[in-house]
Amino acid sequence: MDHRAFKNEINEQFSRIAKALANPHRFEMIDLLAQGERSVDELAKETALSVANASQHLQALREAHLVTTRKGGLRVYYRLSDSTVYQLVQDIREIAERQLAEVDRIVNTYLTERKSMEPVTLNELLARLSEPGLVILDVRPLLEYAQGHIAGARSIPIDELEGRLNELPPHQEIVAYCRGAYCVFSDEAVELLTARGYNARRMDEGYPDWHLAQLPTEKN
């Protein structure tokens, strides 16, 4: 056996995954696809890219078999090929958090209000899932809620929250969650709710983390 040829060829295949992820827009796309499938147009709008640019990034992810597609009418919808794709991105983030001081600097610069918010962990929320006095609030877009959400959660997208506060009981604890640890929707929700006198906290991770942990979910 030619050991050097084997090492070169097998590591070249492994590096295909790293090359496919070596772009910040693709990280964001995987975050979005972890919520549920999307068309190219929807992904382009969410990531502030042109449709052509978004298509190129999706093609790179598809060539590495990190995403797969289905045809729906005239549209092509993308989704993660496997839940381990999101797990890989989470692992990369955890390494970056431990090894790169720049991550903390960016979080402290942009998420200044988060320091004053007491987070709720996945395990804590799981233990309280059936607690009658707890409101679990999904503040992601309605499409994402419909494709999957924490069991028992109610949906009020963040851009509708201020106009729908009357739908929330004023004397019950509210736990808001969104797309993940670096999604700011839940931060904005807690900031708004506490300013209006509600007892609100944010889940420190997001729906994909809950789903990846195989905790109770529902679909509409």
Question: Looking at the annotation, which residues are catalytic?
Answer: 178
What is the number of H-type helices and E-type strands within the chain?
10, 10
- Spatial distance between the Cα atoms of 49 and 21, rounded to a whole number of angstroms: 17
Cβ contact 196:133 at 8 Å: no
User: What SS3 state is found at 1?
Assistant: coil
- Spatial distance between the Cα atoms of 137 and 123, rounded to a whole number of angstroms: 17
Name the nearest CA neighbour of 131 among 175, 162, 82: 175
- In whole angstroms, how far apart are CA 109 and each of 34, 92, 93? 26, 21, 18
Cβ contact 72:4 at 8 Å: no
Cβ contact 69:77 at 8 Å: yes
What letter represents residue 42's amino acid?
Answer: E
